[in-house]
A = this chain, B = another copy of it.
Amino acid sequence: MTTDHTATPESVRVHRIPERGHYDRETIDAILDASIVCHVATIDHDGRPLVIPNQHARVGDFVYLHGSAASRNLKRAGQGVDISLSVTLIDGLVIAHRLFNHSINYRSVVLRGIAQQVESNEEKLIALEAFTERILPGRWAEAIAPDEQELKSTIVLRLPITEASAKIRTGMPGHVDEEEDLTKLWVGVIPIEMVAGDPIPHPDIPADLAVSGSVSAWAAAHVSGSAG
């Protein structure tokens, strides 16, 4: 994993505990791709900051966002204005001797840049397929494709991954030193992972209808202990 600090825009540089900062696209992309939701900040029409959750999908050097054509927040963002986007994956609770040293193991990304509205149906479909396939691989081919009306009612935004950084904490609590009695208080990490429960069928489908391949694959990939 290479970290080319010289190419990092100052606007996203990790200042606090800089050794947790990562600026290589491999690391950034992996965190973006593993996150189900993101949080998008804009400056609201009244000049105040506003952050709301959204979904995203990365395709190459761009992150796509989507939402209803009636969404005021997305319309504002599509006018070529600055946005910031962040995702965070929680990997564990870090349990220390001193309350001060308790922490969380996490992987996060911060992006900044100008979001532009996607105009062509061709690019919209590329983005929509990525939204589906990155979350639930295989579903795009199983389900009914978007029609003209659905495409029209969906706004898609494109954000280039140019101002981007990741921040990652892993491993044990720090600051375990001679002042702390290692024989008395348990310290370590509680791993956290996201797991799938058993798929719940819609009450209107036949009881014996087989679970779709994409659904059973996702559930199988998200059982406890399957995290890398």
Q: Interface residues, chain A, CB within 8 Å of chain B?
A: 11, 15-16, 36-37, 39-44, 46, 48-53, 55, 67-68, 70-72, 82-86, 88, 90, 92-93, 95-100, 102, 104, 106, 108, 110, 112, 128, 132, 135-136, 139-140, 142-147, 150, 154, 172-173, 176, 180, 182-206, 209-212, 215, 218-219, 222, 224-225, 227
Query: A16 contacts B49, CB within 8 Å?
Result: no
Query: A37 contacts B144, CB within 8 Å?
Result: no
Closest to A88 in B: B53
Having A49-B82, A190-B196, A191-B200, one finds 10 other A-B pairs with CB under 8 Å, namely A48-B84, A53-B86, A95-B215, A97-B144, A98-B143, A98-B150, A173-B202, A182-B204, A182-B206, A183-B206
How many angstroms from the CA of A128 to the CA of B99 in the assembled complex?
9
